Amino acid sequence: MSKTFMRWIFRIASISILLPASFSNAAPRATAPKAPVIYGFKGAQLGMSLQDLYNLPIEVADTKPASLACSNTQEGRRQGAISSIEEDEIGIVVCQYRLNAGSDTSRATIRIGRGYTDNVNFRFYDGQLFKIYIEAGKREYDEAVDGLVAKYGDPDLARVEEAESTNGQTFSHEIMTWENSSNSVVASEPWVFGGGSVIFRDYLIERKMKLDLNSKYPSDKKM
């Protein structure tokens, strides 16, 4: 279990002890609603346009030249940015940072704290970024969680779940969630694999995407 996760659980437990004494006689106070936080990774914010992502400075750890490769161009597909047939039909665009030094078109490595990962994917629908998926090793995952806490504060939810692997082995993993009415970040650490994932998701854009997908592939026609 990560140190950040344990610190957060301990802090919540401490606060829960203090709440009755601090707020039992407090009068309710009206507060103006805050605009939802827009989550993002290294300048790439949910809801941004594809052109805005192209315009971002490239922060890769490689010494070889790198560029953003996207599935809506022939060159991007040649470099390895691939989307499924279903995604293509509703206009989903998948982007990755790839090396472009001669014949080397492998995934570029993105710095996360003291480490790095080459598994970062950006998904766009209707011209807007609705999902960022990051998969990294144990050290990079812990660094990512530290960065999320520093940027967005303590998670809104933290829990431990039991899961079962494909070979029937049971293992535990932690899940931390930052969320608001329009978007979320979920950090999940599957201990048995020694790494974790961080997923940024825009609910509103994703909902439009799923409606479009279901209209082309209705449930009653799937079987």
- The domain spans of the chain are 42-218
Per-residue pLDDT of the chain (223 residues; tens, 9 = 90+): 555 655 555 444 433 333 344 434 555 555 555 567 899 999 999 999 999 999 998 888 888 889 999 999 999 998 889 998 888 889 999 999 999 877 788 999 999 988 899 999 999 999 999 999 999 998 999 999 999 999 999 999 999 887 776 777 777 788 999 999 999 999 998 755 568 999 999 999 999 998 988 888 777 766 6
Task: Supply 13's token pair.
Answer: 């437990």
114, with CB counted inside 10 A (0-12, 13-18, 19+), is: exposed
* CA distance from start to end of the chain: 42
**Orientation of helix 3-23 relative to helix 138-152, angle to 10°:** 30
